[in-house]
Structure 1
């Protein structure tokens, strides 16, 4: 009978898988295992669904993908016959005709066992019940003589799975995760993990994926907790990080030897880092050579330019100023100064010939009608066409630069300033854009490729925002001040408050009614907008899903109180009217 070990060295692979790149992710796993072997690891843990990347959405139902994942897993299993570290690898696994979100244990040249995710999230950005079947309550899996509990991500957000593992003899909890970034979510994760540790009395390792995947950004920030809930180690956020941790058996239980505790960014710094990583990975993973964007002299395009340079470096960012008769000398100067500070390529293309040509073509149809927003939109669409043409010719992706305030109320032009492949500030309200711009002038994320110091001219941060589509135009001609607008929008979008509750916060009735109306009728525009980084609790697209055709409006009437006389009995009961 083999002796029960008193020491277990676990390598944690906080990596950035590429969605659907099974062969590439296989090689990433091999490299991580080789590094783990050199560090004397007994076991390597990978993040949730590592072989596919997370979340695979409907792609996971393709039989060819399943086959490729199983082939890759079998390859890794055979390679563990070399006596090196065992592996815990996430992948989709079909059993009994059902597809599961699974983690497989590999050692000694074979698959030791597989555990399935039992609690499938089906809220917010998650819809796992659409493609996966829940697994049974799992028991521990013995690897290298230690009974490991392997709850997968959502499995620790409730009590049952960890309770089952503890009751069936698990000694350590190793949790593979695909948990995307959301503002203030790090504290929520820690609190959830602490609760499971205190309930079970078991040490816990939380390993999270890192990197951008379409709208989602995974921040990594993996950590470990002792059996008493104390923090044992903390990995950095927003970067790949592989390191070993050591478990030692002490007094009948296991303890993690304390390791490094990285400082994880919070608040605006975390938001900015997430935007940069999301943009970087979207460009890199889709193999664009670089990006192009319109640089107007305003704050939105300035911060997008800064994020692009931080993500890719100035040599891969091309900014284009596209002036028209309403473009001020101030805007020309601010755009030029911003481009110079960032060190990127900067060109000026006048849109006058394009706009005037379009107006000339349309003149017979528009004769006798006054100029209005139609002509303003021609300017925006001429700019969008030029940027898309540059993209077509040189292969660079167009960066879209509209903020969440504008997208909420439809203050954007379809096929104009909404053109593009990706929008790093799509989930940031206007006032947040200002705050992050001021932040970037005194700080940049670790690893950012942009210059230090002031990169967004101070004048851009202090002048009144304007689209400059007509003479002396200011955003506040059409919208309430952004401080007011953003608060109303946050109440409507993130909190789903009734209009009456927003008015009770001190907002004007007519303003609330108008903003609620604009939010509703702009849904068709948002459906056609570029993807962008999720930052808030409810971004447009993956989180907040509203019908385009929708006649409901919150009319600011007093809440209706249901008539108790009309209410049915308890659910499932038979009322007295049908007795006998």
Structure 2
């Protein structure tokens, strides 16, 4: 399964300054190692065939000819490697000397990409030796039996998978205000290589890392930074070999500094292609002067080594989690505060079940009222016990409402639901969907009418995961006057609630922690021995899996077979293949057939990159057919 994953490497060989044969030996050693590991593109540092720090030796014919002959040797000795290789080399053309990235494939020199921005400040004095390339620079060279172009206006495209297109820039090109890589990305390059000799000073590594990461996001591409290291002259500078691989704003891999060897990861070029289609501000005009140089590569199966988070909605850096939780709660609360103010609502009515989602909805409402300087007594928390309610959830609801200083009401709905079943002729022993939904709709009616009575608005509690699965009663808990959790997936709801428990402390924190420990359940079926009998994740599957599927289906438009592959990688040792397939099939089936519920969602704030609002991020016909997606699921 290729699925668009291209295994890439940044390589730093040990070099000797001006010893082209030694340098070529070490480049070849790393090429062989990369090839054995299934790498499909490998890049080496700027001027690594000669050494970046050759200084005035760059003007000597013997050095330039030595580099040329060693590049031809490398091409010859890698002709059996079906791998794109980028190597830094000085190239003379008549009276000019260019700092180039040579691009090789199966023994052929496909082209040379010259450096466009030549630094000549502080420790850099490259203009002493090198000529700055422009868009008009176009030279056609013959080296032995090799014929190729030297031009910055070229990208290298795989004939088997056109989305796999590589562009190159060199060191300083990245550090300027308008990097060539931006135009290269617009010209179709999904993988950008930077061949660099970036000397190390205090604080530069973090800046370099951010620069690479942000350029990969700006260009919606993979960006591979190949840095010079051991062996460069230390007369005045130290080179750290800080190799970095980034994709669409995230760091996939980076090397330990001051070391040699390979840094390897996989770039998802199909994901980058989807991102560009989705974001219509990714412009491709004014880039048609770029030549597409084809290369015929037999794409290999790619074993994934890149990190794939089990909870993609949750920040991977746990140090950032508290800050992110605070930001999300503020976004939710600000949206609600704005709506309460606009509607001149006297109260906010929250159905409080003692479960996770309603607890978060109450937390958000409290934050909103605090923002508005409103009395928390104007928040009406309503618990509505019925046939499935347990003492644990009821007590937690009452305790939480009191801990936050809200007005709490207990409204028993068993009698009214029973009367309703009598009216429609439903047998009380028939615990079918009618039995369940009748309770949910009665609760919504109570909340709506109570909001009318108090001049308030009903706050929706349902989360993004439930919306994706359609795990809500239509015109029951599916409906509200403002849904604060509508773009918060269940995995993130847990983190937000845990954060609030830690922040609040005391009795509030204690009860929130017990809510977190309570099995997720709608509590619509009678308890067994006083315990919850209806556990959601036993019925529809683990929410951590469903949130994973949701993220990759919506955020990157991935097909089920690719999501399945990523899930197996992320959840290895936790869920077996059959379980992952079972719940993925369930997710796809439910996602399609439950769209009608999402087509009439109440308003609510967008918080993350994935939402299902029919007025915003997700527009899908309710009668769309899932056959193509289900067919893939069945074939897994």
Higher Rg of the two aligned structures: 2
Taking structure 1 as the reference length, what is the TM-score of the superposition?
0.48
